[in-house]
């Protein structure tokens, strides 16, 4: 008996146990896409484009990629709007990066970035 998981590149056979059958692949990573009080954890690959990430988000929020804007929130307080045609690696998006999601409003402008932080919910005594 043989069971194959094509997504992970692992193959299990009755006699040999598990062995990796994948050809050299990029390591998957996660990004945290935040909008208001909601966080989406998106599994992706550094070679994926921003447009590909927006298509994944579309399946979660039912908004087309053209109505989404993704903004990389860098640790040095510099925000960069991600370009749909560039890869995550090209734009220096790393594993566990925080990316803000804004949506297009009725006036055709994108909404402001509003992300709740954990400290917003802590009471100060």
Q: What is the pTM of this model?
A: 0.71
- Here the tokens at position 94 are 């790393």
Q: Sort 35 into a burial class: Cβ within 10 Å, 0-12 / 13-18 / 19+.
A: buried
Identify the structural domains of the chain with CATH numbers, from first to last: 29-119 (3.10.20.90)
Between the two ends of the chain, the Cα-to-Cα distance in Å is 62
Other beta carbons within 10 Å of 91: 17
Could you report the per-residue pLDDT of 28-86, keeping only the tens digit for each?
Answer: 899 999 998 899 999 999 999 999 999 999 999 999 999 999 999 877 777 899 999 99
How far is it, in rounded angstroms, from Cα 111 to Cα 19?
48
């Amino acid at each position: 008996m043989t069971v194959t998981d094509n997504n992970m590149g692992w193959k299990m056979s009755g006699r040999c146990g598990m062995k990796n059958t994948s050809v050299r692949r990029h390591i998957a990573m996660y990004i945290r896409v935040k909008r208001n009080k909601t966080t989406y954890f998106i599994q992706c690959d550094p070679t994926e484009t921003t447009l590909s990430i927006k298509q994944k988000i579309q399946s979660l929020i039912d908004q087309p990629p053209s109505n989404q804007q993704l903004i990389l929130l860098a640790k040095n307080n510099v925000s960069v709007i991600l370009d749909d045609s560039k890869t995550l690696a090209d734009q220096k998006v790393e594993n566990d990066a925080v990316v803000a999601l804004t949506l297009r409003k009725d006036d055709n402008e994108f909404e402001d970035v509003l992300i709740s932080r954990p400290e917003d919910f802590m009471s100060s005594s």
